[in-house]
Chains A and B, each alone.
Chain A
Amino acid sequence: MIAVVLFKTALTVYLISAVVYGASLLGRRVMLARIATGLMLAALAIHTFSFAARWLAAEEGPVVGLVEASSLFAWVMAAAYLAFQLKTKTRVLGAFISPVICLFMVIASVRLGGTVAAPAILRGSLVTLHVILSVAGEALFAVASCAGLMYLFQDDQLRRKKGGGFSRLLPSLGDLDRINYLCLLWGFPLLTLGVLAGSLWARIVWGSHWQWDPKQIWTLLAWGSYGFLLYQRLVTGWRGRTAARWSIAAFVILLVLTVAGRPFFQTWHDFL
């Protein structure tokens, strides 16, 4: 019960923070963005407590279903963004990040009601690990693509030689590119380990590592694009616009998979 209340409070504070971020962007006020950052920090803290409360209340260890996964996704995004915010002055990036956080919090809250009794095959530490790692990786990719989007925006402003007040608020290209890179650098190994954990589990449950399930194929495709991008960044020195575009495209693949894919595919993987 406490967990639910905490979760809803966190959701509300995230929403307020998103609104304030939006206002700071429209009103071009750095002060508002500062307030929004504070709000997001508070929301993150409450959110963390809600996890703690939920997992303490659960009798048989953490159960990881859609609610937790979405909520964890939002949590990782918020934590990663705030960490970058500490390092660089990228306050306005929050205006792009916070709506995504809110979206995932809302998705989580829709199913919040009762803890859905997960099917027996979805219990076990490997599954938990699989979900936590993949979700964390994907959340970092989400941050990367937000930074990429903003990069394209700022790049466009600079190329059109417009000195308007709008680009004044945006973070610098250097900072955005670094965020994009770091998220990729951390997100990729996390997703890789997540996929490995999943396939080990699949071996135990279904007898084989790989089922040629549509969801798995899409994931492989997204994983491959991220791998390619990371390779290009590290080896051939891709940077800036190309890297930003690529990371956005790869995230779109992930998004198609999780959001649009559901109704269209018959999938083994449809519990998440």
Chain B
Amino acid sequence: MRLVLIGMNHKTAPLEIRERLQLSSGDDAHSLSELMRLPEIREALCLATCNRVEVLARVEDGGQAVEQLREFIYRQGNLEREELERCLYVYQDREAVRHLFRVAASLDSMIMGEPQILGQLKAAYRQAVDNRATAVLLNRLLHHAFRVAKRVRTETGIAGNAVSVSYAAVELAKKIFGNLKGKSILLIGAGEMSELAARHLIRQGVGSIRIANRTYARAEEMAVMFQGVPVPFERFPEVLPEVDIVIASTGAPGYVVTAEMVAAALKRRRNRLFFLIDIAVPRDIDPAAGEIENVYLYNIDHLQDVVDANKEMRRIEAMKAEGIVAEEVEIYEEWFNALAVVPTIVSLREKMEAIMQGELERSSSWLRNLEGEERSRIEIMTAAIVNKILHDPITVLKEESKDRDELPYVAAVRRLFKI
């Protein structure tokens, strides 16, 4: 019984190749059933995302399973053998487990710590379960992988901080306002990045949104999209006091929002905290506005600095996460190895009990002459003898499983007791 993981990811394969595999494996159910038809595959799971295509399988020992899996991938990709060969990685047993855990914990992702991969893995697992492609081993392994992902998420800061500029803006808004419910935004200029930031903010519960754009039609268009209110561009200073967050991204050559405007607005809003985000180049908001108390001004470079600092932190946290993965691989392996001795222990016990029952049967004629209580005492005693005899061998077998790989005692016990 072996575990094999074969596949490719964004590091090993260029987009064109991943694309072609992705396209053909679009119908997961189909590829799963094709996999399960391979002679030496016992359990299987297909994971296909935009950054990776992987097949995890439990296969028969010593056969051609790995080769069969390779063939399967070549067929799926409909590509030249050599071309694919360079992109593929194959992990077995311990390494396969480690790789799966790393993938689940988002350590192997393009953006380390991104949360989608876990959802994708869960979906892939569900698909496999629905197609009856999994059994004890993969079930246990996948649940363990989900647990590892959760542990990494709670015990390290790997997914903690924003690593995109638009999301960094959301995180800052939370640090300033706490709860974003009921807060309002003003977009000055309706670019792509401000749209993205606005989307994030709305998802966090920001209440209302106003859009001022030089081309009024575009402002109206976006207002429909966000259920917001369009504001004529020259009148945006009037709504400044009513909003909490301003995102400026116009193509204007000079400052569109002056420090005086901000100061006046702040006075009208009785010093309520004011968060200004300037993602325009050249800048839209006079940097002097950021010096005013209760005003927090971030420009594109500041946001990028935040992102860089966060990326650095994720890198440090990732090292902790690797430690957790290593620990969990150990735990899984212990279970896995114990699995190898369990059937032997069970048959050993069954055999001994059969002998005991048989002997009790044979003596049943004279046992019948005894009192009920005495008879049951004899039964208890024989059971105790069997248990005492079995105790040490079973302990040794269990111990042996922890030292992994070779299991000489299992073989010895099987020969000695003919089981």
Chain A residues proximal to chain B, CB less than 8 Å: 28, 31, 88-89, 154, 158-159, 161-165, 167-168, 170-175, 177, 237-242
Contact = CB atoms under 8 A, between A and B. Distances in A.
B159 to A, nearest CB: 12
A175 B180 CA distance: 11
Contact of A161 (B177, B178, B302): B302
A84 to B, nearest CB: 12
B273 A239 contact: yes
B246 interface: no
B176 A172 contact: yes
B12 interface: no
Nearest to A28: B157
Interface string B266-299: 0000111100000000000000001001101010
Given A28-B157, A161-B302, A163-B306, A240 B273 contact: yes
B176 A237 contact: no
B293 A173 contact: no
A174 B178 contact: yes
A173 B177 contact: yes
B407 to A, nearest CB: 40
Nearest to B175: A172
B177 A163 contact: no
A229 B170 CA distance: 32
Contacts of A158: 172, 175-176, 296
Nearest to B307: A163
Contacts of A88: 178
Given A163-B168, A168-B160, A173 B273 contact: yes
B306 A239 contact: no
Q: How many residues of B sit at the interface, in one of the four size bands?
A: 20 to 34
B271 A238 contact: yes
A163 B296 CA distance: 14
B151 to A, nearest CB: 12
B133 to A, nearest CB: 37
A246 B163 CA distance: 37
A175 B270 contact: no
B260 interface: no
A237 B272 CA distance: 8
Nearest to A154: B175
B124 interface: no
Interface string B166-183: 001000101111110000
B244 to A, nearest CB: 10
Contacts, number: 70
Given A158-B296, A159-B296, A168 B161 contact: yes
Nearest to A29: B155
Contacts of A172: 174-179
A239 B271 contact: yes
A241 B178 CA distance: 16
B263 interface: no
Interface string B101-133: 000000000000000000000000000000000
B87 interface: no
A170 B178 CA distance: 10
A165 B271 contact: no
B179 A174 contact: yes
B264 to A, nearest CB: 14
B176 A174 contact: yes
B319 interface: no
A240 B175 contact: no
Contacts of A159: 290, 296
B309 interface: yes
B313 interface: yes
B287 to A, nearest CB: 12
A154 B155 CA distance: 24
A47 B56 CA distance: 57
B183 to A, nearest CB: 9
A87 to B, nearest CB: 10
B176 A161 contact: no
A255 B271 CA distance: 29
Contact of A163 (B157, B174, B272, B305): B305
A240 B309 CA distance: 26
A136 B232 CA distance: 53
A227 to B, nearest CB: 20
Contacts of B176: 158, 172-174
Nearest to B314: A165
Contacts of B310: 163
A159 B294 CA distance: 10
B309 A164 contact: yes
B179 A161 contact: no
A31 B154 contact: yes
Contact of B178 (A164, A171, A239): A171
